[in-house]
Amino acid sequence: MMSLTAADVDLVTPIREFFDRRVTSDYHHALLSGGWDPELMAELDDLGWSELTRPENRGGLGIDLTAVAGLIVLVGDRLIPGPLVEQLILPAYLDIPDGSLVAFADPAVTLDWASSIGSVHMESGQIQGTIELVRFGAEADSLVLAVDGPDGPALLLLPGSDPALALTPITSSDPTSQYVRLEIASRTVTDAEILATGTEAATLLRQIRAWFRLLTACEISGIARRMLEKTVEYVAQRQQFGKPVGSFQAVKHIAASMAQAAISMEALCEATVSDISSAEVDFDIEMATWTAKAYAAGAGRQVVEDALQLHGGIGFTTEYDLHWYYRRVLALRTWYGDEHELHALIGSRRLTDGVDR
């Protein structure tokens, strides 16, 4: 039924086998307590993770991002930490050195909180500013930075270890990612560090952000499917009043609603991926990815909340693994917009441009 993964089975199978072998239950626990394991990331990279989407003329395999969506569904399903989405999206669009782990410092992860998240400004080759939340900012080898300047946006590639970038770790509630606050008092940018400017940068940013939204929705969709399966297994065996709790209609109906949310989320991710890959001329990719993320944010939270409810007390303990999934979904739902922010954005676009998807 998980057709997103079924479609790209050649890509997904080896990675799934790798996770089966490498991410044992105890290790998973340790991994989630620690935020991530660079060694695991390196092994994944040896398997070719970040080469997948890098264009052939830059030494990669040049696989379309639509074809790797199933990998991110799997990452959600297995709850694997690390900058996995970053390592698929950024090399696909930007010229990033081989084997380098990259973070994306982008204030556009939120619109409703834009006035609080900050921004970095570039003028006459100098940058300065603050971004409050950068995922994997401290761990990455390099940092892709979205800045604004007098001629519109620009994309820069900076070494992560640069002393002019003050990185302050944040105590994160997301079990699968570390975050930092980035502050740049003043730094000169060399021409070599500028990846794109002006309309080129604006286009790249639109595409990259669209993919962050869509792959984040896919990750939530993978988590939702896992939560559904786990919950059904649990309520079918847990006994109260002399029978499985899953035989009570009140419980069944919550499980059925979880199924509805998980399955429709999958269908939407799949339809979005398919529309992007068959790219009709008048198809609005940005709008479609806002839509997918908006739905995943709302439906994803519902599914994990229901999963917690149906597990009763055990789901609330830290020994059991539900809380990891719950916290991850709460983190992902805000990243590049929750349903509230995106509904307003979609609606106002519909009311101005009248695009119809």
Partner 1 sequence: MPVEQITEFAELRREARRWLAETEIPTVPLELEERFNVLRRWQRTLFDAGWMGLGWSREAGGRGLTARHQQVFSEELARAHAPAPIGLIGLDVVGPSIHRYGSPEQRTRLLPPLLAGEDIWCQGFSEPSAGSDLASLRTRALRDGDKYVVNGQKVWTSWGNQASWCALLCRTDPDAEPKHAGISYLIADMSSPGITVRPLVQMTGDAEFCEVFFDNVEVPVGNLVGKENDGWRIALDTLSQERGNYAMRRQVEIGWGVEKTIDGLRGTSPESATNSRISTAIGESHVALRVLDAQIRRTVQRLIDEEGPHPLDSIDKLVLNDAEQVVGRALADLLGPFRLDAESQPLGLNAAQLIHDHYFSRAASIYGGTSQIQRNIVAERLLGLPRS
Query: In angstroms, what is the minimal distance from the CB of 225 to partner 1?
Result: 12
Q: Which of 181, 206, 252, 323 binds partner 1 (CB under 8 A)?
A: 252
CA distance 333 to 7: 26
Q: Which is nearer to partner 1, 53 or 216 (CB)?
A: 216
Q: Which of 21, 25, 191, 243 binds partner 1 (CB under 8 A)?
A: 243
Binding to partner 1 by CB under 8 A, coded x per residue (else -) over 53-92, reads: ----------------------------------------
Q: Interface with partner 1 includes 260 (CB under 8 A)?
A: yes
Residues 281-310 binding partner 1 (CB under 8 A) are 288, 291, 294-295
Q: Which residues contact 160 (CB under 8 A, 6 or more apart)?
A: 103, 137, 138, 139, 140, 141, 142, 143
For residue 167, report the phi and psi dihedrals to the nearest 5 degrees.
-110, 120
The number of CA neighbours under 13 Å toward the Cβ of 255 is 20
* Range 257-285 burial, b when 16+ CB lie within 10 A, else e: ebbebbbebbebbbebbebbeeeeeeebb
Q: Which is nearer to partner 1, 192 or 281 (CB)?
A: 281
Query: In angstroms, what is the minimal distance from the CB of 259 to partner 1?
Result: 5
Tokens 């890509």 belong to which residue?
11
For residue 153, report the phi and psi dihedrals to the nearest 5 degrees.
-75, 160
Q: Which is nearer to partner 1, 45 or 229 (CB)?
A: 229
Q: Which is nearer to partner 1, 248 or 320 (CB)?
A: 248
Q: Which residues contact 243 (CB under 8 A, 6 or more apart)?
A: none
Q: Which region, judged by CB under 8 A, interacts with partner 1, from 66-74, 136-144, 200-208, 264-272?
A: 264-272
Alpha helices in the chain (DSSP H): 3-7, 9-22, 25-34, 38-46, 65-78, 86-93, 114-117, 198-237, 249-278, 285-311, 322-334, 339-352
Q: 182: closest CA among 83, 106, 277?
A: 106
Q: Which is nearer to partner 1, 117 or 259 (CB)?
A: 259
Q: Give 54's DSSP letter.
A: S
Query: In angstroms, what is the minimal distance from the CB of 142 to partner 1?
Result: 36
Binding to partner 1 by CB under 8 A, coded x per residue (else -) over 180-219, reads: ----------------------------------------
Binding to partner 1 by CB under 8 A, coded x per residue (else -) over 1-40, reads: --x-------------------------------------
Chain residues binding partner 1 by CB under 8 A are 3, 228, 232, 235-236, 243-244, 246-249, 251-253, 255-257, 259-260, 263-264, 267-268, 270-272, 278, 288, 291, 294-295, 339-340, 342-348, 350-352, 354, 356-357
